[in-house]
Structure 1
Amino acid sequence: MALLDVRNLSIDILTAQGKIRVIDKATLNIVDGSIHGLVGESGSGKSLIAKAILGVHNENWIVTADRMFLGNIDLLKLSSKERRKVMGKEIAIIFQNPRSYLDPSKKIFDQMREVLPEGKSKIHFLNKIVSKSTHKQIIKELLHKVGVQNDQEVVRNYPHELSEGICQKVMIAMAIANNPRLLIADEPTTSMEAVTQAQIFRLLYKLNQLHNTTILLLSNNFGSISNLSDYISLIYCGQTVESGSYKQVLNSPMHPYTQAMIKTILNYDENLDHKSQLYTLPGSIPPANQLPIGCRLGPRCPKAQRTCVTNPTAVNYKGHVIRCHFPTLDEK
């Protein structure tokens, strides 16, 4: 059963040069209780899709979709006030660069206390009912849940006094305080060292397994999230180019962009020559106001032909969705 069903999402941004389409008919179908990876290079539009789902976009955005449901909630029909009620309780987000989103003028304890439910003598916390008077205990348990052991020291500090990894764990603790149904993690390990990255990914996996939290994991690193995800969607220049289960995408990639992303994953079992050149897809992702006509991967695609000047339509092969004129079907 799909928890989040987004079909043909388009985002147009009004600029001084006119209207620019940055997301073009993107589709996401996130199964309840799963981890869904949304992968693409920086600038592909992953964060724009997340903001459209959350409803935190700017006034110069024009967001349209055939369908945007969270369970049985039609997100497109919600007012701003109604959308804010959904935020935190039904959907929560973990931003990249956590220090940018934590209040630098408040200590961690005060910021965490603000996200706890108010107005009731009893509140729900991770499927348990506890008294409101136990905020300190709840915050302690939240921090322990995300792997912060020295909680008494952490809550007394300001964000700038903590490491990037601890700040990210604090943000995750704040995000799960209301036990949301959907947790969106927007590149949660950006600019972190490998050990801290592994800790954050293990934490997200435990949240999914122990509390059945559905996670939409956004990343530009295919290798770091591929083994964590149950389902994977790849996005390029605002278009979802391939989507399917982990086995479908990894074992039988059909789109040239997916095949290129898989080739960038380092295989340490192979004997690489000293200072050998790693694989990269030629070219770079174009800016939003200079997108090519038709298939947006066309100028970089090794399989591009004349037909690619027309926009390909998405085709479903037994749950494996592909948007390409020349998919690799012989490997299916």
Structure 2
Amino acid sequence: MALLDIRNLSIDITTAQGTIRMIDKASLNIIDGTIHGLVGETGSGKSLIAKAILGLHKPNWKVTVDRMFLGATDLTKLSPTDRRKIMGKEIAMIFQHPRSYLDPSKKIFAQINEVLPGISMKNRLLDKIKQERKKTSTQQIKELFHRVGIQNDQAVLKSYPHQLSEGICQKVMIAMAIANNPRLIIADEPTHAMEAVTQAQILRLLYKLNQLNNTTILLLSNNFGTISNLSDFITLIYCGQTVESGSYKQIIERPMHPYTEAMIKTTLDFNEEIASKSQLYTLPGNIPSFNQLPIGCRLGPRCARAQRTCVQYPDTVNYKGHMIRCHFPTLDEKTS
């Protein structure tokens, strides 16, 4: 069953150069209880999609979508007030730069205490109730910290964000995200600019949340190799267009879109011998700027299969759950 169903999401942003279509008919179908990877190069529009799901629209945005359902809830029909009510409880976000989203003027205890589930009390002025609330909050926070792997909880709670490492700040954000046991966690580049050991810890933590709590996770990344083995399903996005989507096995074993094939080729396989100083594979050309986007399929100028037909936007084709948007996909005997 689909927990999040998005069809033909488009985001037009008004700039000094005019209106630019940043996201062009992007679609996502996230199955309940799975890890879904949304993969694309930096600047492909992954964070814009996440913000559209959360309703974090800026005044110069125009968001249009055929369908955006969270379970049975139509997100497009919710008022801003109603949308905020489901944030944290139904959907939680782990941002890319944790220090940028933690308040530098508040200690960690005060910040995480704000997102904890409330305790019913009629008179908040009574000292006894205040003390009981603080005691309960501290216990809840310690349990959350234990779940995300923060060991020295007392020192962390008394610290400001700038006094903590990037990895600890990210774990604090994950603790805040899971405080209300949300159905869906959106993790936007959760291991960005972290050392390899910390990256492995964060990804292992997200995997455990999915396995132990059945939490659905939408994992955004520009590193195909990092998240492909972690994801049950993968969607690839290029310059605001979702180009291919399917299960891990479908994407890895039978990639159909040229962009997917290129992403797989750029992933290093350390089980194979790589000659010293050998040239690694890269997709020819550069990502176009958003004010100079090609018409039709945006991969066209970099695609070896491109023909005149590619100036038209390709329709979505479904091969037994394997979604592809390409005029000239790679087909084998099983799919053709």
TM-score by length of 1: 0.96
Give the gaps of 5 or more residues in structure 2: 122-131
> 2:120 & 2:224 partners in 1: Cα distance?
43
What do you get for the CA RMSD once the two structures are aligned?
1.4
* 2:38/2:235 contact within 8 Å kept: yes
Query: Partner of 1:290: helix, strand, or coil?
Result: coil
Q: Pick from 173, 187, 190: which aligns with 1:188? A: 190
| Aligned counterpart, 1:141 | 143
Q: How much does 1:306 deviate?
A: 1.6
Q: For residues 286-301 of structure 1, what are the structure 2 equivalents within 5 Å?
A: 286-301=288-303
One-letter code of the match for 2:100? S
- Three-state SS of the structure 2 residue aligned to 1:117 is coil
State the 1:14 CA deviation.
Answer: 1.3
Q: 1:256 is matched with which residue?
A: 258
Q: Match of 1:150?
A: 152
How many angstroms does 1:118 deviate by?
2.1
In structure 1, the residue corresponding to 2:22 is in which secondary structure? strand
Alpha-carbon deviation of 1:108? 0.5
How many angstroms apart in 2 are the aligned matches of 1:251 and 1:185?
26
Cα offset, 1:241, TM superposition: 0.1
- Within 5 Å, give how 1:1-332 maps onto structure 2: 1-118=1-118, 120=120, 133-330=135-332, 332=334
Q: Distance in 2 between matches of 1:28 and 1:293?
A: 22
Equivalent AA in structure 1 for residue 117 of structure 2: P
Q: What CA deviation, in whole Å up to 9, does each residue of 1:288-317 have, x standing for no partner?
A: 111001110000011111211111111010
In 2, distance between residues paired with 1:228 and 1:331? Answer: 28
Show the counterpart of 2:128: none
Cα pair distance change 1:331/1:226, threshold 3 Å: farther
Q: Secondary structure at the match of 2:113?
A: helix
| Distance of 1:240 and 1:270 partners within structure 2 | 31
Contact 2:256-2:324 at 8 Å conserved across structures: yes
The 2-side partners of 1:212 and 1:321 are apart by 25
The 4+ residue runs of structure 1 with deviation greater than 4 A are 130-133
Matched length: 325
Q: Find the residue that maps to 1:106 and give its secondary structure.
A: coil
- Alpha carbons of 1:331 and 1:112: their partners in 2 closer, same or farther (altered >3 Å)? farther
Identity of aligned residues (%): 77
Q: Residue 119 of structure 2 contacts residue 133 of structure 2 at CA under 8 Å; is this kept in 1?
A: no
Could you say which residue in structure 1 is the equivalent of 2:125? none
* Alignment partners' CA distance in 2, 1:88 and 1:269: 41
CA deviation profile, 1:167-221 (whole Å, cap 9, x unmatched): 0000000000000000000000000000000000000000000001000000000
CA contact (8 A) 1:120 1:132 kept: no
Deviation per residue, 1:34-78 (Å, 9 max, x gap): 000000000100000000000012011000111000011110011
Q: Is the 8 A contact 1:252 1:331 kept in 2?
A: no
What does the per-residue CA deviation read over 1:248-307, in whole Å, with 9 as the maximum and x for residues that have no partner?
Answer: 001100000000000011011221111111111011111111100111000001111121
Query: Could you tell me how far 1:331 is from its partner in structure 2?
Result: 6.4
Give, in whole Å, the separation in 1 of the partners of 2:318 and 2:285.
29
Between the aligned partners of 2:286 and 2:191, the Cα distance in structure 1 is 23
How far 1:18 sits from its partner (Å)?
A: 1.9
CA deviations over 1:11-45 (Å, ceiling 9, x no partner): 00112222111101100000000000000000100
What is the DSSP-based 3-state SS (H/G/I as helix, E as strand, rest coil) of the residue aligned with 2:187? strand
